[in-house]
Each structure stands twice: as C-alpha cells, then as structure tokens.
Amino acid sequence: MYPAAEKRFIRINKITILVLFLVITAGGIVRSTGSGMGCPDWPKCFNRIIPPTDVSQLPPGYEEHYVEGRIKKNERFAKMIEAFGYAHLADQIRHDESILVHEEFNAAKTWTEYVNRLTGVVAGFCMLFAAIFSFTYWKKKKSIAIWSVLNLIVVVIQAWLGSIVVSTNLTPWVITIHMLLALVIVCIAIQTYFWAITLRDNTLLKNTDKGFTWISVASIVILVIQVVYGTEVREAIDHLNQQQIQRVNWIDSLGMPYYIHRALAYVTLALTFFLYFKLRSSNLATGIQFKYAKLTLVLVCLQMLTGIILARLHVPAVAQTAHLVLASLLVGSQYYLLLLLNKPKVNATQHV
C-alpha cells in the first residue's frame, strides 16, 4: 500500500515518537533524583565525552571554571530575554547567587544526567532522519516535510534551552518551558505521523459527531492547563526542598496552584469518562477512535493514582517520575485521539 520511501518515513517517525517519550522519562528521572547538575557543563560532561566515575578524574579548578562559564552564558541569555521585554526575569538571572554555587561531584547523578543527554542525542538523530525522509512527500503533501523540518529546528532550540537549564542552575521557569516544549515536539511528530499514514489509507478517517471533537478539544486544553499548573507545583516543591522543609510538610505548603492542578485533574477525568461512554454507544465502538479513548481513560486513571500516591506518601521520587511520564503519554494519546475524531478534508489526488 505504501511505497518504500513512505514506509521508511513512517517507520522512523514512529521510532522518533517512542524515543521522545524515553527522553521525557529520562528527564523525569533526572529531576526526581536531583541529578540536573550532575554535569556542570554542556554538551560535554566535565569537558569529557565519557564522564568521570571518580572525583580524582576531575580537572583541577573545575568549580571556578564552570561557574565562570555559566555566568557568561547567563548574561547572554539575560540580554536575549530582556530584548523580548522580560527585564524582571533577566534581572533575576543576573542576580541569582545560586549560579555561583557549584554542586559537589556525585558519580550516580553525573551518569544519570549523562544517560539523559545520550537519549536526547538519539532523539535528535531520529528527527534528523525523519526530516530528511519527509521530503518524499514534497509533491504529495508538503506539510509533512515542512513540519518535520520545523520540528527539527524546535529540537535544536530545545537542546540550546537544555544548556540554559544547566547554566542557570535549574531555574524553575526555564525547566517549565523546557518541559512544555518537549510536549510540543511530541505532538508535531504525532501530527506528521498521522498525515503520513492517512495520506494513502483513509480507513482511519470516519465521519464523526462534531460533539466528539469539541469534547476532545476541551479535554486536551484543560489537560495542557493542568500540566502548566503541575509544573508550577513542581517548582514549588523544588523551592521547598531548597529551603530544607521536611518532606511531610510539602503538600500542605504548596498553596493554590496545587489545588487548581488537582481540580483540573478531576475535570479531565470527567471529560475522558464522558467521551469514552459516548464513543462506546456510537458507531465508532469498534474503531480505532474507541481504542484510543479507552487508552486515554486508562492513562487518566493511572495519572490520578500517581497523584494520590504523591499526596498521601509525601512525594516519593518514583511516583514523581511516573506522574510526569504518564502526563506526557496522556497528552500524546489525547492529541492523537483528537486527530482521529477530526476528519480532515482529503484531496482525492493524494491517493493516486
């Protein structure tokens, strides 16, 4: 059904989506274990391709060297965001004394961060090949090639932002942007994959009730808002940790963002249940749309479960990672379901 060149793109795009979720998982492990500064420089780690395993392997005077480098990079970053009108954020970066504090060497944290970076490199190469292979669609559907190349550019920006995360010593709002941009990259990859598989095989495209589409749109919008509040909650937890507040008191100290995040979780759960039962009673009950509605419902329930574990068991690190990974999988599943429920106009010449 698909020519060899198109099969190649679809295969690498599917692999790319999988690797992107692995990158998010690795990033979640890094953050939950506090390994973000395991490598004080970027893209190398202690100026080595293979990071050290013992403090004796560290270069002399490395603390001052990397702090000095971070200060210079942060000044350039501050000037950039100041040019966009965010003078107060630029001022915060310039006067953040935590940047001057280096973290003691910890081999486990160093290698955790290093594996995270390696996973990111693999994802980058996957997206490079996807962008190259996407040009097979240039005459049939230019948007596949255009968005694949655009996504590669976004990944380069994401890699640069990763270096800023390190140089700013894990400034919370920078980490938040880093996370949200990762979800954007995933959704673009899912979009190009969807376009590619439906270009010649339109059996996935069904005429659906517009109500299904609007429920799905509302659900994913609320989910994204929930994720944003979730990142604020995580920033607050990082702040509490830095202040050495006891873990048992974290949840009670989070304030309004936590309660909004939790309330939105219940709204997402209600909308997902509603869409699931509406699809089950429709003519799509045997189609792929209902399968993804079922998958989305399972992910929502697991997400709620990890949230309860975080709240009741004083924010265990394993549950933090699981909560983040499930959130990213849920966004991907919700977005693909939205595409399946929103039948596009198909040009008959595309199937020749």
Asked if residue 259 and residue 175 are part of one domain, the reply reads: no
Residue 340, token pair as written in the block? 């399946």
Asked if residue 280 and residue 352 are part of one domain, the reply reads: yes
Question: Distance between CA atoms of 277 and 212, rounded to whole angstroms?
Answer: 11
Q: Is the pLDDT of residue 351 over 60?
A: no
Question: Distance between CA atoms of 176 and 228, rounded to whole angstroms?
Answer: 8
φ and ψ of 30, to 5 deg = -60, -45
Question: Distance between CA atoms of 229 and 176, rounded to whole angstroms?
Answer: 10
Question: Distance between CA atoms of 144 and 118, rounded to whole angstroms?
Answer: 27
Instruction: List the domain range (segments joined by +) for residue 264.
Output: 203-352
Asked if residue 215 and residue 331 are part of one domain, the reply reads: yes
Asked if residue 6 and residue 73 are part of one domain, the reply reads: yes
The last residue of a domain, from among 147, 181, 200: 200
pLDDT at 94: 81
Asked if residue 121 and residue 95 are part of one domain, the reply reads: yes
Asked if residue 164 and residue 230 are part of one domain, the reply reads: no
The last residue of a domain, from among 175, 200, 225: 200
Asked if residue 251 and residue 223 are part of one domain, the reply reads: yes
pLDDT tens digits for 268-300? 999 999 999 988 988 888 888 899 999 999 999
Tell me which residue of 295, 317, 324 sits closest to 226, measured CA to CA.
324
Do residues 130 and 16 touch, judged by C-beta distance below 8 A? yes
Q: Is the pLDDT of residue 346 over 70?
A: no
Report the DSSP beta bridge partners of residue 48.
45
CATH number of the domain where residue 350 is located: 1.20.120
Asked if residue 153 and residue 16 are part of one domain, the reply reads: yes
Asked if residue 181 and residue 81 are part of one domain, the reply reads: yes
Mean pLDDT of 20-40: 85
Asked if residue 190 and residue 235 are part of one domain, the reply reads: no
Asked if residue 226 and residue 167 are part of one domain, the reply reads: no
pLDDT tens digits for 87-136? 887 887 787 776 666 777 889 999 998 998 899 999 999 999 999 999 99
Asked if residue 292 and residue 179 are part of one domain, the reply reads: no
Helix (H, G, I), strand (E, B) or coil at 183: helix
Full-model pTM: 0.87
Residue 301, token pair as written in the block? 């329930």
